[in-house]
Amino acid sequence: MFGALRRCPASLMRNLSSATLSSRALRATVSQSSPAVRRTATWVPNVAIAAFHQSATWRQVAAAEVEVDQQLGSDGPITQFKELATHGLVHPNVINTITRQMRLETMTEVQTRTINEALSGSDVIAQAKTGTGKTLGFLVPVVQKIINEDPRLGERARGYKKARPDDIRAIVISPTRELAEQIAVEARKITSGTSVVVQVAVGGTQKRMMLAKTQREGCHLLIATPGRLLDILSDEYSGVKAPRLNSLVMDEADRLLDDGFSKEIEEIKNYLPDPAEVDRQTLMFSATVPREVVDLVRRTLKPGFHYARCVDEDEQPTHERVPQRVVQLAGFENTMPALYELTKREIQARQAGSPFKAIIYFNSTAEVTLAASVFFKLSGGFRRNTPLSNTRCYEIHSKLSQGQRTKASDSFRFADSAILFSSDVTARGMDFPNVTHVIQVGLPRDRDSYIHRLGRTARAGKEGEGWLFLSPAEEHEVRRRLRQLPLLQDSSLETATVDMAAEGEMPENVAKLLEEVVNAHKKVYPEHLDNAFRGLFGAYQWYGDKRGLLEMANRLAQFGWGMDTPPPPPSSLLSRMGGVGRGRSSGGFGVRPGGRGRVVGRSGGGDRMGGRFGDRRGDSRDSFGGRDRSGAFGGRGGDFNDRRGGGGFERGPGRPTNFY
């Protein structure tokens, strides 16, 4: 059936290629054709052509495709791995490994669609949520294509496993090193019964070692990150060439095509053979396909590409299915106390046999490092019998060595109960089993980023929940950036809204918790504090009110970290604010910290915070009992009883009616 695609009549192709077709006209064209044409067009890769028409959205195209499929009475795609071998579509040695060693029988939806389509030779862009087996979806057809070119590679003949270094037939590009390694593990598995040679090229490893290995063993399938790939392709002396490349896979394609990567990707293409001379199949995979990517895709993929929108209409995507709560913080300084309160509570609530496995995302690497160190102190280091002593803390971001990154990622992957403090390195594609919580501190750069991070939990049919901690700086931006997401306001964390500058009374348990957290900050390396402080201004560069930002940051340093004098902000910030003098006398640079009309920063004692919280005794919640505070002290029972929001959030645990 799929071979028939190549024989798709030229006349039909021409019709479908006409950029003036709407999806409706396209359907009509197909359904009015003769039975023979209709049959050959069963999987009409060219339905996607309709996307060339400006009025056709991806959704319409996908709908048209399904409809055409139904109308034409397709005998349906192959859904069992075994059948791929019995129909002679994929080499039995590959399929046997999948069915016997990996114990997979039925393909997932994304696998069904992409494998069938890609084997037919058309370009594919596949949209599927994470954790649905996208990797096999492109590895199977890519490996098969390699075997097609040289059938001897299907066998595991001794001696034949020697490929030449310039034999690269397929390249898979991934935005992060860890994801590339994860893909390579799968690739080596499915090629273990064949003579196909897999190599990995990622940064942070020894380039010479990798090149020597490639010289020695050769390479058919190369899995790489953009930087290193460009590095070795452009290295005339000792690099690699791919004159016979005929498959290119972009995993997390939307990420690869956006600002940060697109330039490198373009450059990489300059080193690859001209598609006009060497026919090349391109496969793009992504969990989200934002509108801006569409134009790029049109230019990148061959006309007649296939769009596999493997998002089940009936099944809710992760970001609609997973419960998500928003914690509105009184200030930056409330972040760590609230995180600590939340994790402690969740760990205690889960003790018996159900582990707590969380990823906490931050927007700068320095914040990741700081939070991880503080939590390490809070968990009592390596001491036993603390609330967090059975929960290991790990840290991962791009500023660590590759060795540290790999260790953290593997440790967390196999951990039962643990917290991973992370930057966006792990936001996409990474498969950590059984993550129960994804906590995002600060507003992510965009909506997709939020969704990808959230996608680390509730995978493979498991439960999970999302949390978003927001500072006052983000109150307005969140409505713009995270529209239409079921974010439910949560006010169950007492430390989230408490005024940490308040000299007034506060409940003993809250005071104690704050003291613990502030003291932990005093035990970490001072440069961690300085770096995180500076990092904030980068992470919040979108925030217009620089003055207000500095004021909030100063409060963080004073009341959250117990510093007498906030660290200096980046000098560029001061020039941006304009007209603000520098000076340490006010207890900070540029802006006097404090706000809320309270006089602060007078006491000179080094242990001021400790003293304050230490002296606080006696439950005096009444003094806090003023208006609007009630929710914060309502105990754990009433989760959704917020009354501050003003926006009117859903109260009950049911489906939220109010969206940002």
Partner DNA sequence: GAGACGG
Q: Is 211 helix (H, G, I), strand (E, B) or coil?
A: helix
Q: How far is the CB of 530 from DNA (least distance, A)?
A: 11
- Nearest C-alpha neighbor of 56 from the set 22, 16, 19: 22
Binder to DNA among 48, 94, 230, 378 (CB under 7 A)? 230
Q: In terms of CB distance, is 304 or 429 closer to DNA? A: 429
Q: In terms of CB distance, is 2 or 540 closer to DNA? A: 540
- Nearest C-alpha neighbor of 452 from the set 157, 233, 56, 175: 175
Binder to DNA among 121, 203, 323, 595 (CB under 7 A)? 203
Q: Does 445 bind DNA (CB under 7 A)?
A: yes
Q: In terms of CB distance, is 259 or 314 closer to DNA? A: 259
- Nearest C-alpha neighbor of 531 from the set 336, 373, 381: 373
Q: Which stretch binds DNA (CB under 7 A): 59-67, 77-85, 199-207, 470-478?
A: 199-207
Could you give the string, one character per residue 84-123, with x where binding to DNA holds by CB under 7 A and - elsewhere?
----------------------------------------
Binder to DNA among 45, 165, 193, 226 (CB under 7 A)? 226
**Number of residues that this document lists for the chain:** 660
Q: How far is the CB of 430 from DNA (least distance, A)?
A: 11
Q: In terms of CB distance, is 134 or 428 closer to DNA? A: 428
Binder to DNA among 26, 168, 425, 458 (CB under 7 A)? 425
Q: In terms of CB distance, is 2 or 537 closer to DNA? A: 537
Q: Give 558-593 as a DSSP string.
A: IIIT--SSPPPPPHHHHHHH-S----STTSSSSS-S
CB-CB contact of 466 with 325 (8 Å):
yes
Q: How far is the CB of 61 from DNA (least distance, A)?
A: 29
Q: How far is the CB of 6 from DNA (least distance, A)?
A: 36
Q: In terms of CB distance, is 149 or 235 closer to DNA? A: 235
Q: Is 625 helix (H, G, I), strand (E, B) or coil?
A: coil
Binder to DNA among 108, 282, 363, 558 (CB under 7 A)? 363
Q: In terms of CB distance, is 261 or 561 closer to DNA? A: 261
**With the CA atoms of 318, 452, 77 and 248 taken in that order, what torsion angle do they form, in degrees rounded to the nearest 10?**
180
State how far the Cα of 127 lies from the Cα of 14, in Å rounded to an integer.
26
Strands 324-328 and 465-470: parallel
* Tokens (6 digits) for 120: 């037919």
* Tokens (6 digits) for 523: 């035990």
CB-CB contact of 500 with 334 (8 Å):
yes
Q: In terms of CB distance, is 165 or 535 closer to DNA? A: 535
H-helix or E-strand spanning residue 144: helix 134-149
Which residues in the 206-225 window bind DNA by CB under 7 A? 207, 225
Which residues in the 284-313 window bind DNA by CB under 7 A? none
Q: How far is the CB of 56 from DNA (least distance, A)?
A: 30
Could you give the string, one character per residue 239-278, with x where binding to DNA holds by CB under 7 A and - elsewhere?
--------------------xxx--x--------------
State the number of binding residues for DNA (CB under 7 A).
44
Could you give the string, one character per residue 560-589, with x where binding to DNA holds by CB under 7 A and - elsewhere?
----------xxxx--x-------------
Binder to DNA among 234, 316, 484, 603 (CB under 7 A)? 234
- Nearest C-alpha neighbor of 491 from the set 619, 645, 611, 282: 645
Q: How far is the CB of 410 from DNA (least distance, A)?
A: 16
Instruction: Answer positive or negative: Cα dihedral of 472, 473, 475, 478.
Output: negative
Q: How far is the CB of 576 from DNA (least distance, A)?
A: 6
CB-CB contact of 124 with 283 (8 Å):
yes
List CB contacts of 430: < 8 A, sequence separation 6 or more. 176, 178, 179, 182, 409, 456
Which residues in the 492-531 window bind DNA by CB under 7 A? 531
- Nearest C-alpha neighbor of 335 from the set 539, 477, 500, 457: 500
Binder to DNA among 58, 412, 469, 537 (CB under 7 A)? 537
Q: Which stretch binds DNA (CB under 7 A): 39-47, 231-239, 484-492, 636-644?
A: 231-239
State how far the Cα of 42 lies from the Cα of 414, in Å rounded to an integer.
44
Binder to DNA among 335, 365, 379, 489 (CB under 7 A)? 365
CB-CB contact of 562 with 519 (8 Å):
yes
Instruction: Answer positive or negative: Cα dihedral of 17, 21, 27, 31.
Output: negative
In terms of DSSP H, where are the helices of 303-364?
318-321, 335-350
Q: Which stretch binds DNA (CB under 7 A): 174-182, 303-311, 469-477, 646-654?
A: 174-182
CB-CB contact of 486 with 161 (8 Å):
no
Torsion angles phi and psi, residue 528, rounded to 5: -60, -40
- What ranges make up the beta strands (E) of 244-342? 247-250, 281-286, 306-309, 324-328
State how far the Cα of 44 lies from the Cα of 149, in Å rounded to an integer.
25
Q: In terms of CB distance, is 176 or 324 closer to DNA? A: 176
State the first-to-last Cα distance of the chain, in angstroms, to the nearest integer.
Answer: 47
Q: In terms of CB distance, is 325 or 413 closer to DNA? A: 413
Q: Does 412 bind DNA (CB under 7 A)?
A: no
Q: In terms of CB distance, is 443 or 632 closer to DNA? A: 443
Binder to DNA among 541, 623, 657, 658 (CB under 7 A)? 541
List CB contacts of 66: < 8 A, sequence separation 6 or more. none
Q: Which stretch binds DNA (CB under 7 A): 73-81, 88-96, 171-179, 581-589?
A: 171-179
Q: Which stretch binds DNA (CB under 7 A): 9-17, 95-103, 226-234, 456-464?
A: 226-234
Binder to DNA among 30, 366, 371, 418 (CB under 7 A)? 366
Binder to DNA among 73, 504, 538, 583 (CB under 7 A)? 538
Q: In terms of CB distance, is 44 or 532 closer to DNA? A: 532
Distance of CA 38 to the CA centre of its chain: 40
Could you give the string, one character per residue 373-402, with x where binding to DNA holds by CB under 7 A and - elsewhere?
------------------------xxx---
List CB contacts of 363: < 8 A, sequence separation 6 or more. 423, 441, 442, 443, 444, 445, 539
Strand partners, 469: 327, 441
Q: In terms of CB distance, is 140 or 574 closer to DNA? A: 574
Q: Which stretch binds DNA (CB under 7 A): 24-32, 363-371, 387-395, 512-520?
A: 363-371
Q: Does 424 bind DNA (CB under 7 A)?
A: yes
Binding residues (CB under 7 A) for DNA: these are 175-177, 202-205, 207, 225-228, 230-231, 234-235, 259-261, 264, 363-366, 397-399, 423-425, 445, 531, 534-535, 537-541, 570-573, 576
